[in-house]
Each structure stands twice: as C-alpha cells, then as structure tokens.
Structure 1
Amino acid sequence: MRHIPMILRQVRRSHLQAGLFVLCVALSLATLTAFSGFARSVSRALLEDARTLHAADIIIRSHDPISAPLVQAVDRLADQGRIVKANVHEFYSVVRAPDEKASVLSRLKVVEAGYPFYGQVTLKSGRPFKQVLSPGACIVEQTLLDRIGLKVGDRLKIGYTTLTVDDVVTAEPDRPLDLFAFGPRVFIHSSDLDALGLMTTGSRIHRLVLLKVMDPLQVDAIAAGLKQASPFDGESVDTYLTSGSVVKRFLDNFLFFLKLVGLFILIVSGLGIQSTLTALFNEKQRTIAVMKTVGASGRFINTHFMLMVLLLGTAGTGVGILAGAAVQGGLAWMLGPLLPEGLGLTIAWTGVVEAVMLGFTVVALFSFLPLYRLKEMRPVVIFNRLPSVGIARWPYFLSALLVLLFFLALVLWHMRDILFGFYFVGAVVALILAAALLAQLALWTMKRLPVRHLALRQAIRGLFRRGNATRAIMITLTVSLAVIFGNHLIEKNLNATFVQSFPADAPNAFFLDIQPDQTEAFSAAIGHPVQFYPIVRARITGVNDQAIDRRREGQKRRDNLSRVFNLTYRQGLLDDETLIDGDTLFRSDWTEPQVSVMDSIVEMREMKIGDRISFKIQGVPLTARISSIRTRDSRSLSPFFYFVFPEEIMKQAPHTLFAALTVSPGQMGPLQTSIVSRFPNISVIDMSQTIGILARLMARLSRIVRVFSLFSIAAGLLILVSAVFATRAERVVESVYYKILGAGRRFVFTVFALENILIGLLSSGLALALAQAGAYWVCTLRFDIGYRPFFPISLTMVGLTVLLTVTVGMAASRSIMAKKPVAYLREQQNE
C-alpha cells in the first residue's frame, strides 16, 4: 500500500503519458470485445428465438417433392396427434398488374393453415394473418404495390390465376435477409397452389414441411425418427436448434471476418502499449535515478512500476470494456437491416469476463520488455546524460515469441480452425516484418541523404532523436494503412470490374424455368433464335466410390460438394471455355457415361481424368467418368456449369431450360411483362438489379470494415503523440537553441511540421506500396480479374494520411513550440 500514494503522484505528473497508455489498452480491447460480445449476444438471441425464427419445432426442407416414405411418416405422426404440420412452398415468379402493363419479380410463399406455429406475421391493418389469408386472396409487401401501381383491394395476376390483394405484410418470423432477396414478398393460400400452374417439372421450388410437436420433450426423438424415414440426401430434417437460418449463416461469416479485424487491431494496439509505456518510463528516468541513489532496491522499483502498470492497465481495461459495449451497440445499429426484427441483443457477460482476462494478459505481455529495461536505467548514465548501455537480445526474442504464441492461441480460440489460424498469423507476421524492413530501409536511406535545406536537415535529425519512437510509429501506421488502403483498392477494382464495367453486350436478362415444349414459342416471342441451356438438378454422392461426408463438407467456408448442383448437357465448349486437361470434351473410346468438370470442382476436391463421380438425380443414381477438365474466363458474364454431360446421357432426365439475353434497359420492363403474360411459369432475373444489390452490399460491408480499421490508425497516432511527449525535453532544448541562435517561431514550426510530414509521407508511402502489391495479388490471382492501381485515389489517401499525421503531431507539439528561452534557462538555473 505504501506504493499507491507515490504512484498516484507520478501518474498526475505524467498524466498525458499515462492517459495515452490507458487509451492504448482500451483500444486494444474495444474492437475485439465488441466483436466477441456481439457474436455471443447474437448467438444467444438466435438460440432463444430459434423457434420464432423458424416458425416451427421441426423443419423439413427439399428442392424436390418430399419422398413418399417421409410423407407417410409425417402423416402417421399427425394422425396420432403427436404433431401438427403445415406445408410451405417458396419460389420466385413474376407477378403482373391486371392490365399487363407492369410486372415485378417477387418471392412467393404458399402456406397452409397453421403457419406460423411460432411468432407472428404482422400486417399493416393489424388484423390476424390467419384470418386474412384466404383462398383467392394474397398478402403482399408495400414495395410491390408501389412498383406495380396497385393498392389493397386490387387484383394481381400470379402465374395462371388472378388473386385479390387483401393486406400488406410488414414482418414475418422466418423472414430471409432482404439484402440477399430479389423482389418483394407475396403470401398465397395453399388452396390456390394448383391454380398458379407454376409447379412444373424441374421448377426451382423450395419445399418445407413445418411441424409443431405437441410434447416439447419429444422434438429430438421425432426428428431422429423422421431422418431415418427419409431415403434421399436431398431432404433435410432439422429441429429449430440444429437448423441454421440464413441470418445466422450470414452473421457467422461476417463476424468471422470482423474478428480477424479485431485481432489485427489488438496486435497493432499492443505495439502502442509497449511504445507508450517505454515513453512513460523514459520520462521517469530522473525519478528512477533518484530512487536508486537514495537506496531503493531493484525489487522495490520493479514492484513499484509493476503496480503502476497494473493500475493503469486496470483503468484501460475498464475503459476498453465500456468502449466495447458502445461499439457493440454501434455494430448492432450498422447491421440493423440484416438482423431479424425484434431480436433482443443483451450484454454477454461471458464476453465481459473474457475481455477482463484478455486485458490483463495483453498488458502483461506488452509491458514485459519496458519493465525489464528498468534495471538498465543507471543513475550515473541518467545524470551525466551518457549513452544508454544496450540490453541483451534475449528479452526481445522472448517478448516477440510470447506475443506470437499469444496471438496464435487467440486466433485458434476465436477461429477454431488450426490451419487457418497458422495462415492468418503467418500473414500478419509477414506484413509486420515487411513493414519493419521497409521502415528500417527508408530511415537508413533518409539518414544518409545529403540535405542542404536547414529546416529539412534538422527535421531529419529529429527522426533519430534520443527516445523518439519513429520506427515504431512508422511500422504501426504502415501496417494499419496497408490494410485500409488494400481493402479500398480491392473494393474499387471489384466495383470497376463487376458494376461500372458491365459489358454492353453481356447478358443482363436471365429467363428461368422454361419448359422444353415452350422453346419455339419463346423464340418467336423474342423475335430471334435463342440459345437454351438445359438444367438438371442433382447432388454428388461420392467420388471414386468414397461417399461424400456432407457434414464435413458443409463446414468448409468455401464452396463445397455438399450442395445441390446444376448439371447440363451439350457436345461442345462455350466461347469463354478452354480445356486444361484432356484433348476433347468427351472421349470417343469410352462407352460408359462421361462428364466434363470445371477446374473449380477440382479445387474443392482433388480429381483427375478417369476418376468417377456418383450423382443422385431426383433419387436416380448415376456414375460418370471424368473425361476432361475445363476452365473459363471469370470476367465473362456468360452462363456456365460445373458439370457437362453428353446429350444422350442426360436428355431424358427431368429438366428445365434457361436463356440469357442482352436487353436494352428501356426494353427490360416491357419484355418481362410480355414474356410472363404469355408464359406465367417463366421467371425473369434482371442482372442490372442483381449487380446493384451486390454493389450496395459490398459498399455497406466495406464501410463497416473501414470504420473498425480506423482503430488501428488511432493506435499509430497514439504512439506518435506519446513520442512527442516522451521526447519533450529534447524538443524543448532544440526549440530554445533555435531561438537563442536567432531562429524565429516560424522556423521552429517548420522543423517540427517537416518532421511530421516525413513520418506521414514515409508511412503512407510504404503502406501504399504494400497495399498495391497485396491488392494486385488478390485481384489477379484470387479473383482472376484485371487490376487498376487507381493512382488519383491512392495519392488522395496518402495526402489525407500526411495531413492527419501533421495535425496530430503539431497539436501535441504546441506547448513545446510556445516555450520561451528565458523561462527555460531560469528553470535550468533553479535546478
């Protein structure tokens, strides 16, 4: 306890450095605490509201008609009174105004009585959903009425029938993410399903059977029995706890990425903790010298300053947790449009406990080296202003190793993926090492430049001032800015490739679910010959007689073999396709079924020519031998398929056709209305709208990432301010000497401004070089798109960084420049 009063006095005297240390600790925890707490809160909320989010206890899903054995098992349970069921059919279709002058692609949801079993479908009128939805009527979203020019009570053409709009829906419990959904919602009574005429062979229909279990304790047992009754892989039987919603899948993936950002900010802020603490101890050199001179032992000094670090670290952890809670609220606000309405998010106390433990670990790790260096502060060296004796190298290596192991453990804890954890840590370490090497090279070069301009020469000398943290500042800012610049450059290239540079002759209208007997009439309606692409939906059951483990495949974060694939048949390559293995698409010397695969499939699982792939097509098994491997120009917007069969193998399988056409923007609406009025079963996808939706999604997510990446820049700026304060004595001496020798305040300002300009210019320039290299690699090798460096935008980012650095640095140096020589000399005389 005897240390506490002395610590408090020292903190008050060095309140600026102490405050910077607290801010660095808080910064290191705020984002990761927010991301981790938000993820836990979302998971808990989704778990608590799982029944509502799925509207049932058990959910059966299939893109094909539910198998007879499973239907019989469900009917038996219903006859026994153990469950209540409701069939739901979801699909896209174009709906039209009665006069056929306007149409819009919509999401149809055909439901039976009983839906939803949990939660409420909220209507604008406030009436009960189950009473409003009746045969011959429909309930729609307001956007549909606005776009098509109708109102409640008007008639609406859907498929081959006409229904009356009875109300407007404002919320539904199992609503998908609007950001990924094309078209407004339309609810239809199940008795009108046949009248729609849209349940044709091969149509893209999502079938659900929702079950309410009368005895909640039997949910798992009934679900297990239904799984055994299902003979097909294409059917899934899940409970409300095991079924992953679209919302949860999106949030899991996005929060996974945000956690990466949080971990990166944590390591960068840790460098700030180490730098500010070193600066704080440098400021306390005279205090330490006096304490040692009057007999204080090394143990006493270490204990004293460890308690100081613990006190400041505790304050920083508390501030970080509070800031993390605020950031968590901001994150919930920014992601508001993507969250289910009414989802209750509360503070996850397990996340708070984890944050407290994390805070003390971070402080301990990054305080190790500055605390160790305390014993090297010898009174004779300090009082006589002699050069400091360098400490042994092993503490540096030990500190770096501990930080690396801690960072790796943290990545594995949050990511639960060992291989990815090593990749990510390796990438961050490589980025930091590259920044450190480039910063060292830049400073080495700068120190040896023959500069004649006096102010610039003094500014360069200031970069190497005793106690200055120029290298740490540059490394931190370079790493942080490289991530932000790289993210922005990648976003601009994606936007330029897929949004702004949409080729004029590229297909922008896709017509889906065309039946084989409609091809001639469809071509006649278009007015010219049309190329049709057959679609056969199937699942892969095995490769080379090895069954596909769907659970393991589904856990992969990239595309995998567990999903439903679209197969096709034709005899030749498309214009944008080339063979990378094999002489021809199909071999004439093989008599067994053959299939050509896209190179993307080989990336999902290693395959080669001659391997056998087993498919199940609507319950019918088919095994084919790989005859060739294709690739395509990913910049092309033409249709493509992963699997291509010979026509004689697949033509008899149940299938639909689709066509891709280039339509001028002014003709898109009239053409859509004309086609759907003649062929109500055909859906039209306007790719220009799809591109717009993806562009808005990319912009929203990029803004969120940029906001949180700014935290890492804040860490670099805190180090900059800390360095100014830590070298305050040397800067004051320089300023006084300049003035004594006849320099005016303008010269002093110019020297300090040039010093900050050099730091900002070097850091942002190195960051831009790393960002350009990284963005080029991602765009050309990972996304396979052309790369543009965007030099005007890049120079703007560098300019803004320099301006920010100069502003912060000069603000921190204001009191130093204001010091008058006479006042300083009087202070020295008094000492």
Structure 2
Amino acid sequence: MAWRDAKASKVRLLLFMASIILGIAAVVSIQLFSTNLKDNIQLQSKALMGADYIIDSRKVPTERAQAIIDSLKPDASEVNFVSMIAFPKNGGTKLVKVRGMEGGFPFYGTIDTQPESAATTYQELGGALVDATLLLQFNIEPGDSIKVGELTLPIAGALKAIPGSTAISTSVVPTVLIPHEFIDATELLQFGSRKEYQYFYKAPDTLDLERFEAKMNPILEAESADLDTHTSTSSRLGRRYDNVGKFLNLAAFIALLLGCIGIASSVHIYIKEKLKAIAVLKCMGASRMQSFLIFLIQIAGIGIVGGLIGALIGIGVQELFPYLLQDFLPFNVIVSISIQPILIGVFLGLFMSVLFALLPLLRTWYVSPLEVLRVDEKAAQEPRKIRLMVFSAILVFLLLFSFWLLKDIFYAFYFVGATFITFSILAGIALLCIKGIRKFYPTGWSFTLRQSLLNLFRPNNQTVVLIVAIGLGTFLISTLYFTKDILLSKTEVGQMTGNANMIILDVQSEQRQALKETIEAKGLSVLDNIPLVTMRMHRLNDQLVNDLRQDSTSQVRRWVLNHEFRTTYRDSLIGSEEIQDGEWVPQLQPGDPVVISISDNLADSAKLGVGDTVVFNVQGVLMETTVGSIRKVDWGRVQLNFTVVFPKGVLEDAPQFSVFSTAVPNAQSSADLQQELVAKFPNVSILDLRQVYTIIEDILDKVSWVINFMAFFSILTGIIVLIGSVRTSKYQRIKESVLLRTLGAKNKQILQITAFEYVLLGLIGSLVGILLALVSSFCLALFVFQEPFVPSLIPFIIFLPGITLLVLGIGLSNIQSVLRSSPLEVLRREG
C-alpha cells in the first residue's frame, strides 16, 4: 500500500524529497570539509612548522634567555626582518621578508626550490633563495644578483614553498632566504628595526611537548622570549579558520532548517488530504497500526533515499572548498572520502523526515471510520499531550544538532530560540489574520474578493501552514542575506585608508629631511610624518611588571608584560579613533604630569582605567604616566593605529624613528620613487598599498564567493521549500474550484479568487519574515559580530515582491487542470 500510494503521489513527494536533499547536501559537504581540514592540520603539524618546537624573541635574547637556548642545543636558527631589496639587473625594488638561516632547517617537510638542489646548497654557495613569483614579476632568473641593503648576492634558486608560509603572506611580503653569516654585511639591522630571532629544535620521541611547553614558557616569557611547539601551533592554526567554519555551519544549519520546514509543511498538507482514504481503509478493517505504518514507511523511505542522494551531492560539493580556500591554507588539503558522511546523511534524512512528519502522521492514528460519513471536514486531532511531546522532541533535536554544528551552546540556544520565537509569532499573526477577517468580514465587497477571504478561514484552509512556511523561509533567507552583508561590509578595501597609497617605514631621525626632499622632488606630497618611540611597561599602578610575570593569579594578559610598544605623539585624533572614556589631552607644557591615551583592547588586557598609572621604560629612562583617556580603535583600517598615544610636548627628544606616507598617481611613479629611495636609504622599508589592495581584493573576492555561494545554496533550499509548501496546497483547492465551476463560475472568477488568496498569503508571510529577519540580524550584528548594522533594501525590493509573485505563480499553476478540463474529468483524474 505504501508503494502504490507513493507512486500515485510522486510529484508531491518529489518536492518533499528535494527539501531533504538540499539540506543534507549542505550539512555533509561542510562537515566533511571541516573534518578533512582538521585531520590535515593534525597530520601535517610538524611539516607546517618544520620543527618540533621553536624559541623566538623580538629582540636580541637576554643573557639568561641565550643560556637557555644554548643549553637546549638548537639544530638551526634564523634572524628575520622586513626590508627593501633591489635587482641590479633592471633596477626593480620590492618589500620582502629577509630570513638569515643557519643550519639544516626544515627537519620536517621540504623547501621547494627550482632547481631542487638549491634548497640544500644555497648556504654553502653563499647565494639567496628568492620567491619564485617575485622572480617572474621582475623577469629575474637564478644566476642573476639581488641587493639586500649594502650586500649583493647571487640568486641560487627560485623559492616555491617553505614550511609555515601561505599564498597570502608571500603575496604581500615575499620571502628571501640568505645565509645567516651575511646578515651583518647588509647593515640593515639599525635602531628601531623590527626583527625576530628564531631557534629551531628537533625533539627526542620521549619528550612530552605539552609539559615541556608549560614548564619552559613562563621562564622564557620573563626574558621576553617565547616557546611554540608544533602541537600548539597547529591548534592555533585550526582556530584561525573557525570564523570561516562558523559561517559555513550557520549556512548549513539554515539550509537544514529550511528542509525541516519543507518536510513539516508538505507532510502536514499531504496527510490532511489522505485522512478520508484512511477512514475508508479503517471501514474495510485496517487497524490503526496498519494505516499509520503505510505512511510512516513512505516518509521513512523518502528520508533514506533523500539523505543518500543529499550525502552524495555533499561529497561532490565539498571538493570545491579546498580550491576556493587554498590561498588561506599553508598546505594542500588532501580530501579523503569515507563511509561516515554517507551514514550521517542517511541517518539525518531518516530522522528529519520522520521527526518533522510525526505530528501529521499521528493524526492517521486517531482517524475514525465515521470520517467517511461526516459532512464537516474538520481534521482529526491528536491529544494535546502527544502534540507537546512531539514539539519537545523537535526542539531537543534542533538544539543538539545546532550545538553539533556550531560547537557553542550559547549560539545553539540563540538560533533555536530565535527560530521558535519566529515560528510562534508567525503562527500568532496567521491566527490573528483568520480571526480578524472572520470578525470584520467585508460583506459589501465583490463575489471574487469575498470568496478569496472566505478561503482563508473556511474548513481545510492552509492559512496558518502557508504563512508559517512562507514567513519562516523568508525569515531564514533574509537573515542569511543580512548576515552576509555584515560579514562583507567588514572587508571593503575602499574604506580602509585615506589618500595615502605608499608607506615608508624605519626612517631614522637624521634621514627625515633628506627623505622628505626626495619625495617632494618627484612632485609628490608628504601626507604623514609619524614619529615612533619604542618602550616597554615597567610598572602598572603599584605592581612591577617582573612581579606580575611571576604571579600566576594575575589577570593582566601576558602579551602586555612582554610587548615592545611602538608609540607616537600627536595633538589630535585620527579617523579610526574615538574617545570611549576620559578626556583627550592634545599638548602638555614642560613640568606637567604626563597624561596618555590608550586603546580599548590594551585597557582590557592590562586591566587599566582612566586615572591609573603606568611607568614606561623608554630606552632605559623610566617615565611615569597617567591614563587620561581610552580610545576605541578600528584596527580593520590599513593605516597606522597605536595602542598608546602621547600628547605633544613629551617625547620629542626621545630616541625615535619615523614613518612617512605619500600618494603616487600610477605604477610608474611608484617604481621610480621606490628605486631612488632604496638607492639613497637602503635601510628603509616601503609598503606599496596599491599592490596590497590588489592582493586583498583578490582574497576578499574569494571570501565573498564562498559566502555568496553558501547564501545562494540556502536561498535555493528556501525557494524549493516554498514551492513544495504552496504546491501541495493544490490538492486542497481543486475541490472548491471544481464546485465553483459546477455552479457556473467562470475561469476568470476562479483565477481572481485564487490570485487574491495567494497574494495575501505571500505578502503577509514574506513581509513578517523580513521584518523579523531585521530584528534577528540587528542582534547578530550587535552581539555576535559587534559591527554596525546597516540594513540592505534588497530583501524589501527583491524578496518581498519576488516571494509574493512566486507564491502567486505556484498558486495559479495549481488550478490549471480545473480551468482546462470539465469538472467531472478533473474529479475522476484527481480521484
């Protein structure tokens, strides 16, 4: 019976299956990729770092730190810094990361070079390995030379890959490897130069790295050094992709939830029209269990088949993610296919379909044989206790599933709670509409309009089901669209900076005037001349920093205690700042107490407030300061933002270096200026923001593609659900339309009645859904993304009329058979 009935209802059941397939495909594809990503990070954790553990320091190691480093016997070491290099062959210049390497690094993984032998011979031959893309850009080949500061070296080979680097990092700042012994000859490490010393170790198999890291890190942190193991680095790397995973999981959750709505609404209407047939079966001797099992087998079978198809589609879709995200990953993701995602898909398909169809299925249990004889068409109702149990099971399933996807119980409660509230509001509005239309029924309206309104509250109406399905689908689609806008608004390059498109770093005090004249001689303006003074914290309020390092109960973040702050002084705020607390002090007179402004993140990490005192060690001189204000800083802008800002009149005589910025009109002007600056001032570093913007825009295009793809995937699921929900109402309207035809109604009148009914349903459902999505998205922006929310008009301009027209189109297509055939023929065919 289940098979025969399913064959007769295949069109309705196919739309029901489509809801399952799309939801399962989204979940399986994303979960499979996330699993593959985590497995790859774990398997390749040593190759990612190239060593078992690394000790690094942002300055020359202290005597005690050096003693610890030497006692552990490093197998390789390097000093790295960012600097400009030049190609004597054609005068090309570029900002690069210079890595002075000594020893046989890496111990795991390989340095990929062309020719291959250059990876092992460049130190012996005294040559440089230069980023392969950089060589192509400047038409340079191995054998040509490279100038690093005052040193000229032959290029031993093209560097294609090295452990720990990504396509993004090497695109912004390409890598140049040179032997460590030549670092001093470059004469680039001067006062204020940003540098890092790293020591690489290969650990014995017996060493417990976690315990070793826990023991050594406090000792090294006290000496401004740090220890990283391959396990902790891979954990941080995994967390780096959490935000991408969270959005993808959110999209998968919405797609699956839309599928659940499609199942519930489709089965509700499908079973409702089968109740008469079930009553007939019971008259013929069928038991409750038999009539229940006929439709349970149908739904379960469709769930299994839909889950299997969805899982197979998901496996195919997840193959795209490694390609889309390859620039974000420092390794190639090896996709492995297992039986697990297929089993998950089949289980979810079966569980979703049965659970969300259970409420209408239970009505088959309570159908009385007398339903055949009754004139009224009031459907059989299951007991309230049973209904509450099913609703509770659905809520528990959604909560557990969202927690499994999002890995955060707060987010799980938030999304399930928001969905439940939305469902309740939509159902309440639908019931209010029915009650309002019945109470204020316009008896003076035309026949077609009155008949349309009657359809909204007469027996067998689908007002509540369709408004809830349309509204909830629109709510989820619009929420995803608004969320997409919030994410993408954070990545607009055009708002990241003002007019400056070139930044010149590490300018020494004695070079300022000559560098300014060089820029102005090119017909360009110096837009910024920002002084930088390096210092460290010596005391916070009445506690010495050295004591805080030893205090395991201290709430002050470790980075504050070990950080070398690059501060500046000025008399005004810049565009990325606003005062959050206290009062901005622009300038001080000699003898005035020193008042500073700190960023909100430093205030939180150092547990400082307005009026607290901080003593800084400024190049060996202790300076007592008071926090006068706390600034909220937009760190997302590509410009120089500072955690600590002094007023004018304090640091002018301190040892310092500067950062200049200018605006170049085109690529040729940029190249000419860079060549002259590198020739005259080889120690300065030049950041061409025009190149950085190109790279960022390319990255953001891929991020946008992923976000838009997942949004489209979920929106497509929502549209399928809406089509299924409205399409299944076809079989409820055919009888009324046939009766109207029999009584003499014209095709035009039937079309008008149907059109007005579906326009009202589509308009009410979609409008309420979009308004609820606005509230939901505002909460997401405020509490989750912590970004300003500027709502898009697209849902109002596109979704509202689009979904209303979609509902209208499907509704009119439902009665085409009535309009084209005689009433008797329609009744025979549908029977």
Secondary structure at 2:241's aligned position in 1?
A: helix
Pairwise mapping of residues 363-442 of structure 1 onto structure 2 (< 5 A)?
363=353, 365-381=355-371, 383-386=373-376, 387-388=378-379, 398-429=389-420
Q: How many angstroms apart in 1 are the aligned matches of 2:387 and 2:36?
A: 39
Q: What amino acid does structure 1 have at the position aligned with 2:597? A: S
Q: How many angstroms apart in 1 are the aligned matches of 2:441 and 2:197?
A: 72
Partner of 2:688: 686
CA contact under 8 A between 2:594 and 2:624: conserved in structure 1? yes
- Give the direction of change, closer, same or farther, for the CA distance of 1:374–1:507 in structure 2 (3 Å limit): same
Q: What amino acid does structure 2 have at the position aligned with 1:639? A: L
- Give the direction of change, closer, same or farther, for the CA distance of 1:263–1:339 in structure 2 (3 Å limit): same
- Give the direction of change, closer, same or farther, for the CA distance of 1:609–1:121 in structure 2 (3 Å limit): same
Q: Does 1:59 align with 2:51?
A: no
**Could you tell me which of 59, 71, 77 is aligned with 2:72?**
77
Q: How many angstroms apart in 2 are the aligned matches of 1:36 and 1:820?
A: 52
Residue by residue over 1:542-581, the C-alpha shift from the partner in whole angstroms, topping out at 9 and shown as x without a partner, is 7885959999999x9xx99799574414263335455443
Q: How many angstroms apart in 2 are the aligned matches of 1:134 and 1:817?
A: 89
- Give the direction of change, closer, same or farther, for the CA distance of 1:725–1:223 in structure 2 (3 Å limit): closer
- Give the direction of change, closer, same or farther, for the CA distance of 1:425–1:727 in structure 2 (3 Å limit): closer
Pairwise mapping of residues 62-211 of structure 1 onto structure 2 (< 5 A)?
62-78=57-73, 85-98=75-88, 101-132=91-122, 136-178=126-168, 181-211=171-201
Residue by residue over 1:68-112, the C-alpha shift from the partner in whole angstroms, topping out at 9 and shown as x without a partner, is 33433333333xxxxx52223444333333267432333333322
Residue by residue over 1:186-209, the C-alpha shift from the partner in whole angstroms, topping out at 9 and shown as x without a partner, is 332323322333323332334332
CA contact under 8 A between 1:481 and 1:767: conserved in structure 2? no
Q: How many angstroms apart in 1 are the aligned matches of 2:551 and 2:304?
A: 47
Q: RMSD value over aligned CA atoms?
A: 4.7
Partner of 1:582: 582
Partner of 1:532: 530
Partner of 1:29: 24
Q: What amino acid does structure 2 have at the position aligned with 1:72? A: A
Secondary structure at 2:72's aligned position in 1?
A: helix
Task: State the Cα distance separating 1:708 from its structure 2 match.
Answer: 2.1
Structure 1 residue runs of 5 or longer lacking an equivalent are 1-5, 79-83
- Give the direction of change, closer, same or farther, for the CA distance of 1:49–1:190 in structure 2 (3 Å limit): same
- Give the direction of change, closer, same or farther, for the CA distance of 1:433–1:733 in structure 2 (3 Å limit): closer
Q: How many angstroms apart in 2 are the aligned matches of 1:449 and 1:697?
A: 58
- Give the direction of change, closer, same or farther, for the CA distance of 1:801–1:680 in structure 2 (3 Å limit): farther
Q: How many angstroms apart in 2 are the aligned matches of 1:541 and 1:256?
A: 40
Task: State the Cα distance separating 1:603 from its structure 2 match.
Answer: 6.2
Task: State the Cα distance separating 1:388 from its structure 2 match.
Answer: 2.9
Q: How many angstroms apart in 2 are the aligned matches of 1:639 and 1:663?
A: 18
Residue by residue over 1:698-748, the C-alpha shift from the partner in whole angstroms, topping out at 9 and shown as x without a partner, is 332232223223343344334334334533333333554566577787876
Partner of 1:270: 260
CA contact under 8 A between 2:584 and 2:597: conserved in structure 1? no
Task: State the Cα distance separating 1:658 from its structure 2 match.
Answer: 2.0
Residue by residue over 1:463-509, the C-alpha shift from the partner in whole angstroms, topping out at 9 and shown as x without a partner, is 668353311331232123212431454467556xx434677x53332
Q: How many angstroms apart in 2 are the aligned matches of 1:438 and 1:154?
A: 76
Q: How many angstroms apart in 1 are the aligned matches of 2:549 and 2:413?
A: 27
Secondary structure at 1:243's aligned position in 2?
A: helix
Task: State the Cα distance separating 1:45 from its structure 2 match.
Answer: 1.4
Residue by residue over 1:97-140, the C-alpha shift from the partner in whole angstroms, topping out at 9 and shown as x without a partner, is 32674323333333223122111222244445112465553223
Partner of 2:501: 508
CA contact under 8 A between 1:513 and 1:656: conserved in structure 2? yes
CA contact under 8 A between 2:30 and 2:318: conserved in structure 1? yes
Q: What amino acid does structure 2 have at the position aligned with 1:597? A: I
Partner of 1:521: 514
Q: What amino acid does structure 2 have at the position aligned with 1:56? A: A
CA contact under 8 A between 1:510 and 1:659: conserved in structure 2? yes
Partner of 2:317: 327
Partner of 2:826: 824
Task: State the Cα distance separating 1:611 from its structure 2 match.
Answer: 3.5
Pairwise mapping of residues 705-720 of structure 1 onto structure 2 (< 5 A)?
705-720=707-722
- Give the direction of change, closer, same or farther, for the CA distance of 1:218–1:341 in structure 2 (3 Å limit): closer
Q: What amino acid does structure 2 have at the position aligned with 1:347? A: I
Q: How many angstroms apart in 2 are the aligned matches of 1:731 and 1:9?
A: 24
Q: What amino acid does structure 2 have at the position aligned with 1:568? A: T
Q: What amino acid does structure 2 have at the position aligned with 1:27? A: L
Q: How many angstroms apart in 1 are the aligned matches of 2:265 and 2:62?
A: 66
Partner of 2:658: 657
CA contact under 8 A between 2:482 and 2:791: conserved in structure 1? no
Secondary structure at 1:87's aligned position in 2?
A: strand
Partner of 2:670: 668
Q: What amino acid does structure 1 have at the position aligned with 2:529? A: Q
- Give the direction of change, closer, same or farther, for the CA distance of 1:199–1:461 in structure 2 (3 Å limit): farther
Partner of 1:598: 599
Q: Which moved more, 1:302-311 or 1:804-813?
A: 804-813
Q: How many angstroms apart in 2 are the aligned matches of 1:297 and 1:819?
A: 38
Q: Which moved more, 1:245-254 or 1:166-175?
A: 245-254
- Give the direction of change, closer, same or farther, for the CA distance of 1:622–1:708 in structure 2 (3 Å limit): farther
Task: State the Cα distance separating 1:255 from its structure 2 match.
Answer: 0.9
Q: Does 1:479 align with 2:471?
A: no
Task: State the Cα distance separating 1:241 from its structure 2 match.
Answer: 1.6
Q: Does 1:572 align with 2:571?
A: yes
Task: State the Cα distance separating 1:258 from its structure 2 match.
Answer: 1.6
Percent identity between the two aligned chains: 24
Partner of 2:699: 697
Q: What amino acid does structure 2 have at the position aligned with 1:270? A: C
Pairwise mapping of residues 789-808 of structure 1 onto structure 2 (< 5 A)?
791=793, 795-796=797-798, 801=803
Q: How many angstroms apart in 2 are the aligned matches of 1:611 and 1:382?
A: 83
- Give the direction of change, closer, same or farther, for the CA distance of 1:87–1:594 in structure 2 (3 Å limit): farther
Task: State the Cα distance separating 1:299 from its structure 2 match.
Answer: 4.5
Alignment size in residue pairs = 814
| TM-score using structure 2 length | 0.82
- Give the direction of change, closer, same or farther, for the CA distance of 1:785–1:101 in structure 2 (3 Å limit): farther
CA contact under 8 A between 1:594 and 1:626: conserved in structure 2? yes
Secondary structure at 1:639's aligned position in 2?
A: coil
Q: How many angstroms apart in 1 are the aligned matches of 2:395 and 2:561?
A: 36
| TM-score using structure 1 length | 0.82
Q: How many angstroms apart in 2 are the aligned matches of 1:743 and 1:670?
A: 83
Q: What amino acid does structure 2 have at the position aligned with 1:681? A: N
- Give the direction of change, closer, same or farther, for the CA distance of 1:487–1:785 in structure 2 (3 Å limit): closer
CA contact under 8 A between 2:504 and 2:686: conserved in structure 1? yes
Partner of 2:729: 727
Q: How many angstroms apart in 2 are the aligned matches of 1:397 and 1:258?
A: 32
Secondary structure at 1:712's aligned position in 2?
A: helix
Partner of 1:49: 44
Q: Does 1:40 align with 2:30?
A: no
Task: State the Cα distance separating 1:521 from its structure 2 match.
Answer: 2.6
Pairwise mapping of residues 754-769 of structure 1 onto structure 2 (< 5 A)?
765-766=767-768, 768-769=770-771
Q: How many angstroms apart in 2 are the aligned matches of 1:456 and 1:128?
A: 83
Q: Which moved more, 1:381-390 or 1:434-443?
A: 434-443
CA contact under 8 A between 2:126 and 2:179: conserved in structure 1? yes
CA contact under 8 A between 1:467 and 1:723: conserved in structure 2? no
Q: What amino acid does structure 2 have at the position aligned with 1:674? A: E
Residue by residue over 1:187-246, the C-alpha shift from the partner in whole angstroms, topping out at 9 and shown as x without a partner, is 323233223333233323343322123546565676566546524374321221221377
Q: Does 1:288 align with 2:278?
A: yes
- Give the direction of change, closer, same or farther, for the CA distance of 1:158–1:705 in structure 2 (3 Å limit): same
Secondary structure at 1:531's aligned position in 2?
A: strand
Structure 2 residue runs of 5 or longer lacking an equivalent are none
Q: How many angstroms apart in 1 are the aligned matches of 2:358 and 2:541?
A: 54
CA contact under 8 A between 2:251 and 2:714: conserved in structure 1? no
Q: Which moved more, 1:12-21 or 1:803-812?
A: 803-812
CA contact under 8 A between 1:73 and 1:226: conserved in structure 2? no
